[in-house]
Chains A and B, each alone.
Chain A
Amino acid sequence: EPEVTQTPSHQVTQMGQEVILRCVPISNHLYFYWYRQILGQKVEFLVSFYNNEISEKSEIFDDQFSVERPDGSNFTLKIRSTKLEDSAMYFCASSEAGRDTQYFGPGTRLTVL
């Protein structure tokens, strides 16, 4: 069964550094999402992406965040200058055109020191 994959599973970085989190959505899906889960808290929406454009973003998704689909398979989330409060689990999700169900990847745990 097709799955959303994410790399790396765990990323440790120093405050102020740039990180790129990578996702490979399910191949025939057209809609992509990033969510964040700070430890012990609920999952929060960051951004949705379709046709090489951001469709919707939350107030969390400020100028330090960006997303890109650099090729036909990868979907990335970049954090330009990481802060301690960016430490969280980041989930990528994808969905088919015309379908409401989103399928999640296993997540990347980001630790900012």
Chain B
Amino acid sequence: AQTVTQSQPEMSVQEAETVTLSCTYDTSENNYYLFWYKQPPSRQMILVIRQEAYKQQNATENRFSVNFQKAAKSFSLKISDSQLGDTAMYFCAFMKPYSGNTPLVFGKGTRLSVIA
């Protein structure tokens, strides 16, 4: 079974600074998908970024980017120019090869606080 590990339960960053959240996973699959979801205090889960394992290029979405290291099974999230609105719980999630409605496997999350 796949597992996702987020080793940083809590992190903080000064506004406008850069922060990196770590995620590692364990799988025997070769093709899979990785996601970062954000859960602000409102509790809604919001997709931040996704990465396809067969693509070597790291995904980017505005201030959010990932460092995907397939051999190391590592998928970290970098947030640049942190904003107060980035304060949230961040979950890393894994999806085995897509077959229609494949479930997500989540890590335990990292609580990020952006400080003014």
Q: Interface on A for B, CB 8 Å cutoff?
A: 31-33, 35, 41-45, 48-50, 55-56, 58, 89, 91, 93, 95, 97, 100-107, 109
Chain B contact surface mostly: loop
Contact of B106 with A by CB under 8 A? yes
Judge whether B101 and A55 touch: CB under 8 Å. yes
Contact of B25 with A by CB under 8 A? no
Contact of B28 with A by CB under 8 A? no
Answer whether A104 and B101 are a contact pair too, CB < 8 Å, given A42-B91, A42-B107, A44-B106. no
Judge whether B42 and A106 touch: CB under 8 Å. yes
- The distance in angstroms between the C-alpha atoms of A7 and B13, with both chains bound, is 35
> A58: which B residues are within 8 A, CB to CB?
103
Q: List 18 A-B contacts (CB under 8 A).
A: A32-B101, A33-B101, A35-B104, A41-B108, A42-B107, A43-B91, A48-B102, A48-B103, A56-B102, A58-B103, A89-B43, A97-B100, A100-B98, A100-B102, A102-B47, A104-B46, A106-B43, A106-B44
Q: How many residues of B contact A (CB 8 A)?
A: 24
Chain A contact surface mostly: strand
- The distance in angstroms between the C-alpha atoms of A109 and B42, with both chains bound, is 12
- The distance in angstroms between the C-alpha atoms of A55 and B101, with both chains bound, is 7
> B59: which A residues are within 8 A, CB to CB?
none
> A45: which B residues are within 8 A, CB to CB?
103-105
Judge whether B42 and A31 touch: CB under 8 Å. no
* Minimal Cβ-Cβ distance residue in A for B4: A42
